[in-house]
Each structure stands twice: as C-alpha cells, then as structure tokens.
Chain A
Amino acid sequence: MQDSGYPVATLAEATHRADLVIYWACNPIHAHPRHMTRYPVFPRGFFRERGRKDRTLIVVDPRKTDTAKIADIHLQIEQHKDYELISALRAALNGLTIEADKVAGIPTEVIYQVVDTCKSAQYGALFFGMGITMTRGKHRNIDNAIRLVIDLNRYTKFILTPMRGHYNVNGFNQVASWITGYSYAIDFSRGYPVYNPGETSTINLLKRGEVDAMLNIAADAGAHFPQKAIEHIAKIPLICIEPHKTPTTELANIILPPALAGIECDGIAYRMDGVPIELKKIIEPPEGVLPDREIIERLIKKVKEYL
C-alpha cells in the first residue's frame, strides 16, 4: 500500500455493482463462510437485480476448492506463481505479447480471455486472501495486484479487497496512524514515533534480542512468529492481555484476561473495508474482569507513579 496505493470500496458496493468477482488465493466458502452469501456474489444488489446470475465468478487457486467448484472460470494456477500470473495479466492488459504458451500453468489464450472479461465488465471486484501474502513474493504480490487493479481502472471500474482473517487488525492500524502517523512497527524510544519496518517491527526486534520485556495484547505471536523470535520471547518476561488460551499465553509469565469486546464490554472495531462497527455490551463480565482499555489505563497510571 505504501508503494502503490489502495483502491478499495465498502462491502456493499460490490453487492450493488459487481458483474465480475474474482477470489484470488482464498476459499471464502470455508474461510469466510458468509462473504459470498452476504456481499459480492449471491445477493441481489441495487444494480444487480438477479444476484448470482448477473455476475461472472473467477477463482484463482491451485486447488479445486469448494469455491473453485462453483466458479464460472477456475484458473488453476501453479503453487507460488501468483506474481507471474498477475504480471502476465498486466502485460496482456497493457497490450504486450506473451510469448510463452503458458504462464503459471495457465494457457496464454486463457489469460487474454480473462483480461477481456475484466475489461468488458462494468464493475470488477478482486478479493485476495492471505494466501497471496504468504506465498513466495509476499507483499510484492499484493503490490502487483494493486497495480493490476489500478491499470484496470483505465478501462472500467475495478476495486480490490484484502480478505483479512484476524479480528480488528485494521482497528489497531487506524488508531496507531492517527495518533503517531504510522500504522505499525512504531518505536517511541527517541521521544517521537519512528517507523522503519525491518528494523522497528516486533519480529525484527525480537530476533535481534533487543527486547527485554514484552506486553502482548490480543495477538498470537506464539502461533505466527518465526521460531527465532519465539525463542527470544521464551527468555524474557511476557505479559499477555488475552481472554483465551493460545500458544502465546503458554509462554506468558502473567496473563491478564480482559472482558470480551462485543459481549462483556463495548468498543469499536474497524472492518477490513474501514467501516467502524460499534460493539455493544450484552452481559456483565465476571467479577474483577476489566475491559482491555481499562487494564491498559491502570497500567499507564502505575507506570506514571514510577516516573
């Protein structure tokens, strides 16, 4: 995003307008079970009165997933060849000749057909899964996909949406940005925010062993961080603010279980399309269990007493 930008839309935009929907490296039938039925594929939209019948569905996935099975076009891409296929689509779109017979396992003529389908759509929506960010090429895949969507906007309307799995990751990025100017990996040690991913990101700091204590809030470092970072976590005091038992809490010296947002306390979450959702409190938390906001406020108060 910091290299190319971010052409997106809120979820119902695709419901109302999309006549072409592409799922790339994601299998919403299993991973986001309500996505297709609620937003871009099956429902009737303002300008798409017949729902599914008004839309072409393309799935890009090396496996014959359940989502791929109901697609109009399944591009059975070779593993880890996302970058190649996106580049080929861009090349075809920009009028270049592809000399190979196949790219990433997809016949060249199919690539040209898909580009035609995209160009002749009135509104295309590309949803990409975390798969694309985890395979070889990592964030360059997303960057290239963003470039593809931007290129397509010269011909028609096209938007892109990352299929983020984790709850309210966006909320953290948003708040961090308005408070500091940076969305993550922020180092305050110089008295002002410094951002240099690769240097100031959590994983790098842990791997270099520069961290001598860790406060982990609702993230699951134990499950997602590389081995070397986890090894360092095991050596230092770890405090977890976390309501569930997770691989990270297994390593914790102290666990502060907070109230559950949206059940035991209120709060705001930012959906992946940036729409803020207010979470309501439904029941009282167990006695003595505090919302994470209050736990942190009390921690700050205590820290200030020592300053």
Chain B
Amino acid sequence: MELIIKNGIVFDPANGIDGEKMDICVKDGKIVESVSDNAKVIDASNCVVMPGGVDPHSHIAGPKVNTGRIMRPEDSLMEIYKKKGQFKSGTGFSIPSTYKTGYQYSELGYTFCVEAAMPPLKAKHVHEEFVNTPQIEKTAMPLFGNNWFVFNYIIEKDFKALAAYVAWVLKVSRGYAIKIVNPGGTEAWGWGMNVHSLDDPVPGFDITPREIIRGLAKVNEMLGLPHSIHVHPNNLGHPGNWETTLETMDCVKEIKPAPRVGNRETVYHNTHVQFHSYGGTSWKDFEAKGVEIAEYVNKNKHVTIDVGQITLDETTTMTADGPMEFDLYMTTRLKWANCDVEVETGSGVVPFIYSPKGPVYSLQWAIGLEIFLYTKAMDRIMLTTDHPNAGPFTRYPRVIAWLMSKKYRDEWLYNKVHKWAHQRSRIGDSDREYTLYEIAQVTRTNAAKVFGLTEKGHLGVGADADIAIYEIDPEEKDGKKIEKAFRYVKYTIKRGEILVKDGELVNEKYYETWYVDVKVGEELYNEVLNDIRSKWPKLYSVSFENYPVSDKLANSWKVVKIDATDIN
C-alpha cells in the first residue's frame, strides 16, 4: 500500500523542516524516500502537514477515569456521539467513554497518547480500557512515588534492588515510565495528612520527598529508560508552591541522562507545571510565577515541562494526589471520590467548574499562557491540559489558537476572563505568537523525543507514517479559524491508512499498547523477586500470581526491550 501526500506545507521540527512545500511518501505504514506511480495521491495543497500528535500526559483510561464517569452522569449529557455506521456511540465531555476518546484524538490529528497515572495493582483495568480505545497507540506510566517497596529500598540505599524492582513492576504492569505524584504526600494521606516541602519526613517512614525523587531519578538512568522520571511535585495547586517546584527541579540537576533507547537529553519531566507555578500565600494574594518557572526552564537543560493549560470549562479533576483532591473538594463541596490503593498509591476525583468569571481560575489560565509565552527553550516544552484536570484534550485547538493569535488571546484576556488575569500576570505584555513550527514542537516533536519514541513525532524516512493534515493558512490569525482547523483535521493518517477525512471518521483501527521490558542481571533479579515474594502475603490483598497483567489484555503489544544486565 503506497501513498503520496502532495504539495503540503510541511512542518517537521525534528528534521528541521519549517514550512517547506514538499511531498511525503508512504509505503507499508512507513515514511519512505519515494513511491511508485501506483501510489494513491492525497492532495494537500493549501494544507499544513505535520507528524501525528503525541500526547505526553492525559488521563484517558483506568480506575480514576472510570470513577469520574460513574460519578458524573451529568458530564455524559454535555457531549454525545451517535452511532454511525461502523463507529460506536459514546458520551462525555471531560471524561469521554473509550471509543469516543479514540475517535476524538484522531479528529485532532493525534496518533499516540500516554496515560498519565496507573496504579500497578489496578493495571489490568487500565489495559482493559485500552483494548476498547481505537485510533491511537497508547502507553501508561505506573505510579512509584508512594510505594512502600520503593521507600524501603531507598531507605536501605539499595539502588540496584530498586532498579530491579522498578524493572519488574514495569514489566508485570506493562508500563512505560516512572511516574511520581506528590512523593510521600499520598502516603501521608493514608493518615489524612500531607507533606509540604521537599524535606518533610513522610509519616511512618524514614524518608523525604527529596530522597524519593532523587532515588527514582538515579535508578531511571541506571536502567536507561526511554523517558525520564515524570513528576507531579508536592504542593500542587497551593499558592506559593513555585518555590517547591524550583527546588524539586533543581534537586536532580547533576544526574546525567543515560537512555538506552532514544535520544532524550533530560532527566526530569515536570508535568502540568501551570499548577505548580503559583505565588502568594493564600488565594487572596495569589499571583503568577509562570515567568519565573519559564526562566528556570530556559536556563536548565535537564528539565522538560508540559503545561497543563486551564481551558476554563466545567471538567473533572483526577489525580493520585489524594490530599490535594480533598482540599479541592472542600472548596467546591460538590462530590468527592477517593480510592487509596494498598502499598502503592491513592487517588481522588472531584468535579470542578473553572468559570472564566472567577478571579483565581482566570489567573490560573493566565499562568499557563505565561509559561507558554515566556519559555524560549522550545525543544523542552509540551502542550497539555492534563486532560481532564485543567480541561479536556478536545480543547487543544483552542489553546493553539490562544498561542498563535495575540488578537484572539487578548480578546479573552480583556473581554472574557476576570481582570486578575491581566492585572496579576504578564501575558498582556507579551506580543509573542507561536509559529506553526513551534506548534508542531509542543504538540508532537518534543513529546516523541522525551519518551524515546524514535519512529514517532517526525516525518523522516523510516518513521511510522502517522501524519496529520490541517487545512490552514500558515499566516492565519483568526482564532476561530485556527481552532476549527486543529479541531477537525483534513486527514489523519496512521501507519499509512486514512482514519479521518475532512473531519469525519472513515476508519476504525486498533493499535499497540507499549511497555518497557528491562532485563537486569539475573542473580540480582531473582534475589529481589524473592524479597518481594516473601513480603507479599503480609502486604497485598491479592496473590502474587494474580498481580501481573496477562498477555491477553491488549489488542497487540509493542515491547521496548532494554538490556541492563550490567546492573547485577
């Protein structure tokens, strides 16, 4: 099967291609140098061609997301997809059902998505939902930042054992990267408490958040994982947290990146950094510190960020940060779901209405944009809404419009949102408008690189033929037009097959679930496995044998194999 995409204006930052008119050739699902005359022609004149979008952080599947669905039938009424031919019906605006999730990602031109938080004990649930999520490849990040085994190996300073344990969990839960959420704080929430700084002791354990983050960062590089540690630091959402954020970023500064797969150059990813860029001491003197965070990122090459842009919608918040969700509930008094997971983690789910009239919400919105507009390190920033926490992923096109058009952004800033947004932030001072090259960087190139997805996020020969074609003039400044062009693609092509055409789904396909299988030295592995197994019955309410995710729980697996047998 051959394809040629003709006359499109191509943006492919990984290969330095900045708006060149050129043809893209596809054969057997891959990008190739040239094709025969039999190739099917796709006319991309007056269109922009980019690699398929890669989402580095989105909550699309698993126990938290489904708790949100069960708890919020009202969200289902806000957006409905009817059954249409081969395409299934679905509901949900902020927490869409699984088929709808896949369909909507492909309508946006996205082809790969990272589920942001997987409790290993409930990994089967995440993977079962993945099986019913079409159109995209996906992977999930298991939670490690409040895990008792992790704590104990770090306390004993046995980093080899920790490496073997992490390798084992990644393999049996079929996970991809080390996710850390409010390190130590979620464990403290087991007692209704929290930790508030990097050096607060974790109740019941002789350990601090700093030690947890550093220990896992070190082991991440020993194992040479494709992605760096992926961190949601302490104090999310609290005024004054920006100092904790900078301290956290700084605490792993001297650790050297050593991926055994891919070409990541960073050791720390700070997710939804908008929620971590708050000044002031309370909501009364709340102020923006997005510029300060952006400046740190500009200067420090070991860090990548995704923004977690507030979209000012009614949404559903969900994180493994149990105490934060309870605090949030106390401000809304709407509904609160919580599920603490033995030995490993916790979670909370709270509906939330980010009204544009709210002073705090408007400033949160401005802080996200501050981070986008003041970051110059364009290869280390990514666009997310921490779906659905700050807003649903279907709002990415609107975020893109705010970034590309000063006029559109100012319309919101001065006419739609509360005045705190311009009084207490510096977005009004910025005339910056993102180019399409920069949009491509923040929506595909950078995420593919930091996750070590060497065949994703670019259009070079040998890459997977995951391609998005948008009908938009590169000079377009009309916010509504930009939004529309990115909301409904002209084409989404995946592995050389057309999934969406003229904004309409034309094909339903199921793709791989990715996970990492790292091999450490056999003797070490067996030693650690024996240790885990001996402690197991006293810790878990399921049997050791029932813990692993079996082969059946994917449409197909993509296994990233890593040889780390030098750890022994």
Contact = CB atoms under 8 A, between A and B. Distances in A.
Contact of B70 (A1, A4, A46, A191): A1
Interface in A1-33: 1-13, 15-17
Centre residue among A8, A38, A266 by max chain B CB count within 10 A: A8
Given A11-B342, A178-B132, A123 B191 contact: yes
Overall SS of chain A's interface: mixed
A153 B61 CA distance: 28
A278 B124 contact: yes
A147 B516 CA distance: 42
A108 to B, nearest CB: 27
A15 B71 contact: no
B82 A10 contact: no
Contacts of A157: 189-192
A159 B72 CA distance: 20
Contacts of A268: 124, 128
Contact of A10 (B65, B128, B148, B541): B541
A191 B80 CA distance: 10
Interface string A244-286: 0000000000000000000000101010011111100000000
B336 A7 contact: yes
A188 interface: yes
Nearest to A122: B191
A123 B346 CA distance: 15
Contact of B71 (A2, A174, A188, A276): A2
A6 B67 contact: yes
Nearest to A17: B190
Nearest to B62: A178
Contacts of B82: 191-192
Interface stretch (B92-100, B373-381, B435-443): B92-100
Contacts of A47: 204
Contact of A153 (B92, B192, B341): B192
Interface string B325-336: 010011000011
A122 B90 CA distance: 43
B89 A12 contact: no
A165 interface: no
Contacts of A154: 330
Contact of A182 (B73, B121, B192): B73
A178 B69 contact: yes
Interface in B332-376: 335-343, 349-350
21 contacts: A6-B336, A9-B341, A10-B341, A46-B148, A47-B204, A155-B192, A157-B191, A174-B125, A177-B97, A178-B66, A179-B97, A179-B132, A181-B69, A181-B75, A192-B81, A192-B90, A192-B91, A274-B125, A274-B339, A277-B546, A278-B550
Given A181-B91, A192-B91, 16 more contacts: A6-B337, A13-B341, A16-B539, A17-B190, A46-B539, A123-B191, A157-B192, A174-B125, A180-B76, A180-B89, A181-B69, A181-B95, A192-B80, A195-B76, A274-B122, A276-B124
Interface of A: 1-13, 15-17, 38-39, 44, 46-47, 122-123, 150, 153-159, 173-175, 177-183, 188, 191-193, 195, 266, 268, 270, 273-278
